Amino acid sequence: MPPPRRRALRRLVGAAVALVLLAGVAFGLAEYYYASVPIPRDKTGGHAVRAENLRPGVANTIVAAVDPDFYEQSGELIWPSSEIAKRYAVVAMGMSAEDLDSWRVRVGAHKLEGWFTKNQLLDFYLNTALYGEGVTGLGAAATLYFDKHPRDLSIAEGALLAAHLDPAPGDVPAAWNRVLDTMVERGWLSTTERTGLVLPKTVQR
């Protein structure tokens, strides 16, 4: 019979081998699951609004409201992706808002980040987001709230539309102020410009 120390060493080695095998199986299953999720495609149609065609700073009102870290590397450890990519993935994959943090959406969003540029993903989101009042897309929102084409929106107006991206915006003026304050914090809007902005009026409906 082997001495106790040798038996303990054998048990330790056996446990380590088992853990390695389990880790390999888990990795294999994760890879299989990842491969099974298709890359979400462009669901915006042929007449999509593009961020680059908006007035300077307007697109960043949307980013400030939804995902201020959008232009930075995601801090998620497993299948990292931005909030905007995840929100678009939900739409493109035909899922519900409750699925935002599901593994399937995380995989879809991670694939989006690898397949499309940040600018493309922002364009996708601008055109598929819900802006309140049952309105989908920045083009329809600009028409409904301001009777304008998106390219004519001001930063103040963009911030008000961005304030409606929260499913439960509550105090819209307060949300509008938060969007603009975030833009100042991120360096996307100067303090002087921020001070000169007033809450815009929407068209009467």
9-65 tens-digit pLDDT: 666 655 555 565 555 544 444 454 466 666 677 766 656 899 999 999 999 999 999
Element at 95 (helix H, strand E) = none
Is 31 exposed, middle or buried (CB count within 10 Å of its CB: 0-12, 13-18, 19+)? Answer: exposed
pLDDT of residue 11: 63
% of the chain exceeding 90 in pLDDT = 56
When pLDDT is averaged across residues 137-144 and rounded to a whole number, the result is 95
The pLDDT-based confidence of 149 (bands split at 50, 70, 90) is very high
pLDDT: is 78 or 99 the higher one?
A: 99
Give the tokens for residue 201.
């009026």
Helix axes 172-186 and 58-66, enclosed angle (nearest 10) = 100
Per-residue pLDDT tens digits for 85-126: 999 999 999 898 888 989 899 999 999 998 899 999 999 999
pLDDT of residue 154: 97
Give the tokens for residue 4.
């106790």
The pLDDT-based confidence of 74 (bands split at 50, 70, 90) is confident
Which domains, from first to last, does the chain contain?
A: 51-195 (1.10.3810.10)
Output the CA–CA distances (angstroms, integers) from residue 107 to 60, 92, 121, 197, in the order listed. 25, 13, 15, 40
> Residue 136, SS3?
strand
pLDDT: is 189 or 99 the higher one?
A: 189
